[in-house]
Structure 1
Amino acid sequence: MVDTARHTQGESDWVPTQDGRRLHAMVLPGPPDAATPTVVFEAGSGASRSSWAAVQPEVARHARAIVYDRSGLGRSAPDRSNRTLRRMADDLNEVLDHFEPGPFVLVGHSAGGPIVRLAAAGRPGRIAGLVLIDPTDEAAEVLFGNRFRRGERYALAAGSVLARLGLLGVPFRRMLAELPDDVRRDFEREGFTAEVLRTQRQQARTFLDELATWRDAAPDLGSIPVTVISGGRTGSGMGPAIRAEANASHAHRAAQSPQGRHVIAERSNHYVPLTEPDVIAAEIAKLLQTG
């Protein structure tokens, strides 16, 4: 049984980067005799380690489970350099270096999907599998239109205003109420600040332009097994047309892997880690059995 008496997400650790930053991680060690890959989670664009709090303890029943905060999010130091996809993937590989030996299963939600794909392509030999949850994917044409980009700019501007007013977390109150008290306190203290919006804007400057280049030359994942989990419902800014296109892109991504799976989280919109963590944990467990 996993001991989470001190904190639901385990013990804190600090990952030093080559340029002197420190990235905050939390580790649940898993069963003492587990011979399974380590599972490392990558959150969405403005999310921290706390977004995995309903998934990580379930995974830790089978394997070591590690969450971390990207630079400028949660407790991790901000980054003075541009937050390009390559920069974020390099940071993730530094996290993996810190927690060697592998192999690793990488789990990415939303914008975290491209980050784990790029990190895995750089060092495929130590990656046992990927689980992508409602990922941002270059196969979705809608991402690159002017309407989507205007919507993104509006959302970031509105979010900045709400953060200054202390109201950014209001839409998430119902979902957060289901989380353990220690995680909810972390979320409320760290997850809805002006610094989070600054980091999101920094990440967004080049994210879609970089992702667009993948349409001609996507990161090569070789034979790495890939499971893609799509939300089955609209909401959180995704109407029926966008949801349909997103899920089609997810099916396409899974089909590129020789061991690909596409799964629908029927009761969820975009925030599957909070609304159907059991679906994610079950798919990770399947990969761990073959990893």
Structure 2
Amino acid sequence: MAPAHPLGESRFVTTADGRRLHLRSAGSGEVTVVFEAGLGMSGVCWGLVAPLVARDARTVVYDRAGIGGSDDGPRPRTLDRLAGDLDALLSSLPGPFVLVGQSWGGPIVRLAAARGKSDIRALLLVDPSDEHGDDFFLPGTRRRMAVAGPLTRTLAGVGLYRLAARIGAALPEPLFTQFRTENFGRRGARALHDEVRHFLPGLAELRAAPPDPGTRPVTIVSAGGGVLRAAHTASAAALPHGRLVVAEESGHNVMLDRPALVVEEIRALISAAAAP
């Protein structure tokens, strides 16, 4: 018999339009922790964090549409549509929930939480994309983002995109092989292309109408220096129950560089979510 997958049992959730979203679930407890990955990434990027959290709670790691084991989704892959798929996932799971989003996953979980599910109790944003970062709205950033998707697809077509998988080198086998296969081939490049096209428009929407987390605790783990750190600081200060945690000596992928820190912050929010 094959060994159990480190991220848990595999199953699918069907959306209202008949698509399947792939998830893996492990652990048990009063609280369900749902993990949202960054731009174009499958859920396996949480492979150093979710198994440890599963000792204290139910964990759900899933693949967005067009990524990993999930079906493709309708285009355009706007922030609203990504959050809509997360809504569908949450509707199939028992709460209360702690939502954890890294990079572009941060805005996705923020939008889902603001849309009214009362059993979303807390958010952890791991070096999130942040509309307070003025650099995102400069002409040079728009030019770079415009070429990022097409360039990625070109590199995938000639096999060079796989070299970028080294960012997940801390993942043990078989998770690293899965990470490379799901995220750095042609399909992974297409998913990144589809999402990155709507990254800056999505940030502009957030700047115009920031999602309201209500009274939920929101912890922001910031690895960015300079403008991004300043953006995270401003975002945490603007929230009624915001908290900033600085991930020293970490790059953008804090869940791979400093997994113990991420696990510690999730556990703190699990305790808050479980309180009556």
TM-score (norm 1): 0.89
CA contact (8 A) 2:148 2:193 kept: no
Partner of 1:72: 66
Counterpart residue number, 2:127: 134
The one-letter amino acid paired with 1:47 is M
Give the equivalent residue in structure 2 for 1:198. 190
Q: What is aligned with 2:146?
A: 153
Number of the residue aligned with 1:220: 212
| TM-superposed deviation, 1:226 | 0.3
Aligned residues: 272
Offset of residue 5 of structure 1: 4.4
Tell me, which stretches of 5 or more residues in structure 1 are unaligned? 233-242
Displacement of 1:75 after TM fit? 1.1
Segments of structure 2 that go 5 or more residues without pairing to the other structure are none
Please state whether the residue corresponding to 1:215 is helix, strand or coil: helix
Give the % identical residues. Answer: 44
Q: Per-residue deviation at 1:129?
A: 0.4
Report what 1:249 is aligned to: 231
Instruction: Report the secondary structure of 1:161's partner residue.
Output: helix
Residues of 1 paired with 2:113 and 2:266: CA distance? 16
- CA shift, 1:182, in A, is 1.8
User: 277-286 or 123-132, which moves further after superposition?
Assistant: 123-132
Report how far residue 155 of structure 1 moved: 2.8
Q: Does 1:290 align with 2:264?
A: no
Q: Distance in 1 between matches of 2:148 and 2:200?
A: 15
Q: 1:227-246 maps to which residues of 2 (within 5 A)?
A: 227-231=219-223, 243-246=225-228
1:165 maps to: 158
**SS in structure 2 opposite 1:136?**
coil
CA–CA separation in structure 1 for the residues paired with 2:165 and 2:20: 28
Q: Distance in 2 between matches of 1:197 and 1:176?
A: 16
Deviation at 1:181, TM superposition (A): 1.0
Q: Contact between 1:8 and 1:180, CA under 8 Å: does it hold in 2?
A: no
Structure 1 segments, 4+ long, off by >3 Å, are none
1:182 lines up with 2:182 in the alignment? no
1:61 CA displacement: 1.1
Distance 1:117 1:167 in 2: 34
Matched residues in 2 for 1:134 and 1:169: separation?
24
Q: What TM-score does the superposition give when structure 2 sets the normalisation length? A: 0.94
Higher mean displacement: 252-261 or 136-145:
252-261
Question: Structure 1, residues 165-191: CA drift from partner, whole Å, max 9, x if none?
Answer: 222131332x43331212112112211
- Note if 1:113 corresponds to 2:127: no
